[in-house]
């Protein structure tokens, strides 16, 4: 396996800066709205120590549960601070002229609470001193429907509801709405969870736990409050320790929690157009026992829907509901495994502030850049069964695909095949007559990745289907295998002549597929590719790789290092001190062993990220954000690998990029795109082309072989030393997408 030189990444950074400067001189139809803020181009050397603006000493109104222009529903948690030297008892607070002061209580020298009565559209909160002294303060709040949309653009149709499966009863409308339900469970002394119909009851076998709440340890009964409802058409769950429940939907600010919210994201990548089902229970009891509050939603599960913008929007709404119940958490930690981690990384990049830290396992940087490899696997698996491909041995097939196991490409192909076929990935409960059929229902719902994100990529003006950012023009499949002597030149040539592509409906096409240039540009500009923007380099991230490469597991070891290359610009790991990589090896490759190893490592990672965030909050020393992350990082957070039989992990800054027990035992492999010459950073959706160059091959080409290559690649081959076509850093964070229907338009 060959590691691509990192110098290419440094060239990319310089080129990006120049490109963005040039782009800044042109006009754009997608200017930041009042709800967005621009992000400067990524400069890995720029300081991050700007002082916040001074706070006005007059009356101050803050919306705590959301951004002021992104509230949802009829309520919001607010905080009103009196003018310096004045008393909170003198404050009067009005919502659209109605006095709501009584709904607020004094908290740390200010009034705080949930105001109710917002209308969809614009609202005004005013605060003044009852004594007549001092100026009044005004805060606009814009409220959106609880069913959305808020930032993601017009809703796509839902083909199936699942409210009944979640205990909410049948849906009340086509948006799968349902009444909110609150219930309680308890955990017994044997660790088993039971329903608690009467929350004031205390069963004899109830367990007790000690939680660190409000800066003091408390021993409380292990009773859990569960709230389930529908927000943004997604079924959500909020869970917390509730030591003294009253059986009502009361304020939970005194619940038995440690001040940290763990927001869980589910794995998979689908375009079901369904409401989706709940995530597996997983590690929830362990985290609750430690005092964490938990939140998640069905649209935060990639297998339900893989549109990270909708996932971010859902996170905003669910977190808003959480803050209304509990108050502002000290920290919000995104917890994910596998492709669920894609959501956390893109939310950190594109919607800064939603997640304060990330704890993940089997990390992937984003979906689009791994989709190239997935599609390559689908094409390769097809070719391996053809006359030309069937002659390859399993070892040769693995060399062409780049993975440690010949099974990996097959697993990628089988698990994600439906994302290209508009008829294959829909919710199983959907009525067939609503689903696209090229002959009988060309206007039906298309269940592909890009069609589920049509507000991002836009429609093709000729077909109406979403533009597709998928490309394999110029890719030299099996280039590494050829250069390493694993396959012959004739096999290499036959492979690249016959590999083909997929048409718009996911059917095989003898011609390679070419991306829509507008889709490529939008993918980069809107942040669908992880690019070290937003909060990605500013927050603590601990990612755990569970070593399963030899077994054919798709969660391969190279992915966290692709992410690291993006965050460091190809430099030392010290350039991105917020990202730390752990490697754990299960006792066996069976699913139970892998799941157990993953769960244990994730629990450890959550605790480490929590301690790291607490140390950051307590640190007031001057310096850059990188300095802050470095000096506050717990020792156990650092890069490490735990080798079976050893009691302590091998730890250090360079355990993965210099000779060490970690690199000896856990060697990253590649995927088909990397095995075709792409660098490990793997952030190119469509490559620039160059002429066929004999120097790229470790075989002595004859004149006839050279001419055959020219015939096979008439427009050229990929130039991996260049940025991708259309590749830029995201133009802004906190983006709303075009054609969002405003509350005023709904009225």
pLDDT digits 0-9 by tens, 282-331: 678 999 999 999 999 999 999 999 999 999 999 999 999 999 999 999 99
Residues whose CB is less than 8 angstroms from the CB of residue 611 and which lie 6 or more positions away in sequence, other chains included:
634
Query: To which residue do tokens 């120097």 refer?
Result: 695
Instruction: For residues 721-727, give the mean pLDDT.
Output: 97
Start-to-end CA distance of the chain, whole Å, equals 60
Helices (H), 338-474: 340-350, 368-384, 394-401, 406-415, 454-457
pLDDT of 295 reads 97
Instruction: Give the residue with greater pLDDT, 726 vs 280.
Output: 726
pLDDT in tens, 472-527: 999 999 999 999 999 999 999 999 999 999 999 999 999 999 999 999 999 999 99
- Six-digit token pair at 524? 């980069």
Q: What is the DSSP letter of 317?
A: H
Enumerate the β-bridge partners of residue 182: 227
Locate the domains of the chain by residue range. 60-144, 164-329, 368-527+683-718
Q: What is the DSSP letter of 45?
A: T
Among candidate residues 229, 121, 221, 3, the one with its CA nearest the CA of residue 746: 121
β-bridge partners, 186: 194, 223
Of 264, 365, 366, 361, which Cα lies nearest the Cα of 319?
A: 264
Taking only Cα atoms into account, the Rg of the chain, rounded to an integer number of angstroms, comes to 27
- pLDDT tens, residue by residue, 126-183: 999 998 877 899 999 999 999 999 999 999 999 999 999 999 999 999 999 999 999 9
Cα angle: 623, vertex 626, 627; to 5 degrees: 45
Name the DSSP letter for residue 176: -
Residue 10 has pLDDT above 70, yes or no: no
Chain-wide mean pLDDT for the chain?
Answer: 90
Q: What is the pTM of this model?
A: 0.91
Domain covering 60-144 assigned CATH 1.20.1250.20 in the classification: no
- Lowest model confidence (mean pLDDT) among 7-11, 47-51, 479-483: 7-11
Q: What is the pLDDT of residues 655-709, one digit of tens each?
A: 999 999 999 999 999 999 999 999 999 999 999 999 999 999 999 999 999 999 9
562: its two tokens:
């692709």
Contact call for residues 343 and 308 (beta carbons, < 8 A): yes
Separation of alpha carbons 612 and 539, rounded Å: 10
């Amino acid at each position: 396996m060959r590691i691509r030189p990192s110098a290419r990444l440094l060239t990319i950074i310089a080129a990006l800066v120049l490109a963005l400067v040039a782009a800044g001189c042109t006009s754009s139809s997608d200017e930041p709205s009042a709800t967005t803020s621009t992000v400067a181009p990524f400069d890995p050397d720029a300081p991050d120590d700007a002082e916040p603006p001074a706070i006005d000493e007059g009356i101050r109104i803050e919306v705590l549960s959301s951004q002021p222009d992104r509230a949802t529903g009829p309520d919001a948690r607010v905080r009103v601070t009196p003018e310096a030297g004045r008393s909170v008892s003198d404050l009067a607070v009005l919502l659209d002229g109605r006095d709501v002061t009584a709904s607020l209580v004094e908290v740390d020298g200010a009034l705080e609470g949930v105001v109710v009565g917002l209308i969809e559209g614009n609202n005004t909160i005013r605060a003044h001193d009852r004594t007549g002294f001092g100026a009044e303060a005004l805060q606009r709040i814009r409220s959106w429907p609880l069913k959305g949309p808020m930032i993601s653009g017009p809703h796509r149709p839902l083909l199936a509801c699942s409210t009944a499966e979640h205990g909410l009863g049948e849906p009340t409308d086509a948006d799968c709405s349902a009444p909110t339900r609150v219930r309680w469970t308890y955990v017994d002394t044997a660790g088993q969870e039971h329903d608690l119909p009467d929350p004031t009851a205390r069963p004899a076998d109830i367990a007790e736990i000690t939680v660190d709440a409000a800066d003091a340890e408390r021993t409380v009964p292990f009773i859990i409050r569960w709230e389930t409802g529908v927000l943004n058409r997604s079924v959500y769950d909020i869970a917390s320790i509730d030591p003294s429940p009253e059986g009502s939907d009361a304020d939970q600010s005194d619940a038995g929690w440690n001040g940290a919210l763990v927001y869980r994201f589910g794995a998979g990548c689908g375009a079901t157009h369904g409401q989706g089902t709940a995530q597996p229970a997983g590690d929830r009891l362990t985290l609750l026992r430690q005092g964490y509050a938990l939140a998640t939603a069905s649209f935060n599960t990639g297998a339900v829907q893989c549109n990270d913008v909708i996932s971010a929007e859902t996170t905003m709404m669910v977190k808003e509901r959480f803050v209304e119940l509990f108050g502002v958490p000290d920290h919000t930690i995104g917890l994910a495994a596998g492709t669920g981690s894609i959501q956390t990384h893109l939310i950190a990049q594109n919607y800064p502030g939603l997640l304060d830290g990330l704890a993940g396992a089997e990390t992937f940087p984003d979906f689009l850049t791994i989709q190239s490899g997935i599609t390559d696997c689908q094409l390769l698996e097809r070719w391996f069964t053809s006359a030309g491909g069937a002659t390859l041995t399993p070892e040769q097939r693995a060399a062409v695909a780049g993975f440690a196991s010949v099974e990996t490409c097959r697993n990628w192909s089988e698990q994600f095949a439906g994302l290209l076929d508009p008829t294959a990935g829909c919710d199983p409960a959907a009525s067939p007559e609503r689903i696209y059929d090229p002959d009988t229902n060309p206007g039906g719902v298309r269940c592909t990745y890009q069609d589920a994100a049509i507000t991002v990529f836009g429609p093709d003006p000729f077909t109406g289907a979403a533009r597709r950012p998928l490309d394999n023009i110029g890719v030299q499949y099996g280039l590494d295998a050829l250069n390493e002597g694993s396959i012959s030149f004739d096999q290499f040539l036959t492979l690249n002549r016959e590999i083909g592509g997929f048409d718009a409906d996911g059917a095989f096409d003898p011609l390679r597929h070419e991306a829509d240039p507008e889709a490529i540009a939008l993918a980069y500009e809107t942040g669908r590719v992880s690019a070290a923007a937003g909060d990605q380099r500013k927050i603590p991230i601990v990612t755990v790789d569970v070593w399963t490469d030899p077994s054919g597991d798709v969660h391969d070891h190279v992915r966290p290092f692709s992410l690291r290359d993006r965050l460091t610009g190809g430099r030392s790991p010290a350039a991105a001190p917020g990202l730390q990589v752990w490697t754990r090896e299960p006792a066996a490759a069976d699913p139970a062993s892998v799941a157990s190893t993953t769960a244990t490592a994730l629990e450890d990672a959550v605790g480490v990220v929590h301690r790291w965030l607490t140390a950051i909050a307590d640190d007031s020393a001057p310096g850059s954000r990188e300095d802050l992350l470095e000096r506050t990082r717990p020792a156990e957070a650092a890069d490490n690998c735990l080798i079976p039989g050893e009691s302590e992990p091998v730890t250090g800054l360079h355990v993965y990029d210099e000779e060490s027990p970690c690199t000896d035992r856990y060697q990253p492999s590649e995927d088909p795109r990397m095995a075709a010459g792409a660098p490990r950073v793997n952030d190119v959706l469509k490559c620039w082309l160059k002429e066929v160059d004999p120097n790229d091959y470790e075989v002595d080409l004859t004149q006839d072989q050279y001419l055959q290559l020219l015939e096979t690649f008439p427009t050229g081959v990929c130039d991996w030393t260049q940025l991708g076509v259309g590749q830029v850093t995201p133009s802004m964070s906190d983006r709303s997408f075009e054609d969002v229907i405003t509350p005023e338009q709904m009225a």
